[in-house]
Amino acid sequence: MTTAADIMHPGARWIPAHETLDRAAALMARLNVGALPISDAEERLCGIVTDRDIVVYCVAKGLDPSKMTCGDIARGTPRWIDAGADVSDVLDEMESHQIKRLPVIKDKKLVGMISEADLAQHLSEDQLAGFVEKVYARS
């Protein structure tokens, strides 16, 4: 059985909800990633901030990213997967919620992130085609 831990990119980093968007962008640039899980004060997942979120919900609206926090733009219920979950469960979670990045949690700790690039390396062409069709479908 292939698990979430087998296909994830290890070493994902939290960004606290109180951190500003300019700091999030700097951390994304340093880590060469397009998304960061957001943690609350107890280091629990409370959202995900993406480079696109920063552009669409802050910069494009003329707001100052040094004054807006990651928590300000966190929306909805964050999705995640247990490190021991089967890859079919990973696909179900990502496809059913039309998400492109999925934090991986083990023993209530962030251990990695699964992105489209990770899927592309580990899925068959048919599985990948099904993922793309479902995630990018307009609902």
- List per-residue pLDDT tens for the chain, 139 residues long: 899 999 999 988 999 999 999 999 999 999 999 999 999 888 889 999 999 999 999 999 999 999 999 999 988 788 999 999 999 999 999 999 999 999 999 998 899 999 999 998 988 888 888 888 888 876 5
Residues 6+ apart with CB under 8 A from 41: 16, 17
CB atoms within 10 A of CB 27: 16
CA 38, CA 19: separation in Å to the nearest integer? 9
Comparing CA positions, the residue from 52, 63, 60 lying closest to residue 24 is 52
Are 85 and 19 in contact by the 8 Å Cβ rule? The answer is no
The residue with tokens 């039309």 is 98
> Helix, strand or coil for residue 17?
coil
